[in-house]
Amino acid sequence: MANLKEVKNRIKSVTSTQQITKAMKMVAAAKLRRAQDAILQMRPYAQKLTSIINNVSSTSDEGTTTPYAEVREINSVLIVVASSDRGLCGGFNSSSFKHAKVVIAEKYAGLDVTIMPIGKKAYEHFKKRGYRLIADHSRLFEKLNFDGARAAAEHAMKGFETKQFDVVEIVYNEFKNVATQVVQNEQFLPIKQVATEGANATEDYIFQPNREEIFTQIIPNSLKIQFYKTLLESNASEHGARMTAMDKATENADELLKELRLTYNRTRQAAITKEILEIVGGAEALAKG
């Protein structure tokens, strides 16, 4: 059995850890509120815009095509992996990395694969494992904003347009609620074509100012918005995962403290009993002497 000093030091250590986890939970909760508001406001707009652009690109005629919808033989692939900059967020990062590797193994095995990590943890993970990286945007989450997301999106779009990459996919955690984040992989480029029904496909659209303007300006902008939306999803998911992880860690620390205090009391009682027995034994020996 451990002595009193060891148990007391352990209680002090666990108590300090519990205070840290409580503080981290509160910080994560505050950040989550802002991140959740941002993604809930962005999500409907981004989803509707993406749906419209996909339909418009699928109904384009030969004179008004967009290079971002070109489907070609796949030889080189860019995988954008969103992670966090810091740990202590449960399985948030590991699930993204595992999913990215499954996508590579099942869909792009034997092809030329490049990783664009968004987040320090993704950069460190894939660099350590020898993947080819585009590390220019790995620190984007230090100050997440549309300008940073736009730069990363333009990098991927330029690579696709110049045929450096034949397909671009994004792996990220989709935010459901505080306790649930679902890993997703979405095809960013080429733009997915939506099935249409012949001549009736274009009757629902009025192009203003004109079809060419839409394809040259609106589609690239919508892709950047879509990219930013996935990063907002990942950011909210990170804070939700960290809040959940720190809440669980606080609960575990509380349970451990209960066990340690019980052990401390038992050890203390055993020490007192031993001292009493020693005193009684000494008194009896003196009496016999």
- Residues serving a catalytic function are 89
Beta bridge partners of 117: 81
Cβ burial 132-167 (10 Å sphere, 16+ → b, else e): eebeebbebbeebeeebbbebbeebbebbbeeebbb
Cross-strand partners of 171: 81, 185
Residue showing tokens 């001549």 = 199
> What residue type is 222 in one-letter code?
S
* Runs of H (alpha helix) within the chain: 4-58, 92-107, 120-128, 146-161, 211-213, 219-288
Cα 184 to the chain's mean position, in Å? 10
Task: Indicate the residue type of 210.
Answer: N
Show the 3-state SS of 27-84: HHHHHHHHHHHHHHHHHHHHHHHHHHHHHHHHCCCHHHCCHHHCCCCCCEEEEEEECC
| N-terminal to C-terminal alpha carbon distance within the chain | 34
C-alpha to C-alpha distance for 278 and 6, rounded to whole angstroms: 23
- Backbone phi, then psi, for 175, in 5-degree steps? -80, 120
Residues 6+ apart with CB under 8 A from 263: 1, 2, 7
* Separation CA 231–CA 172 (nearest Å): 8
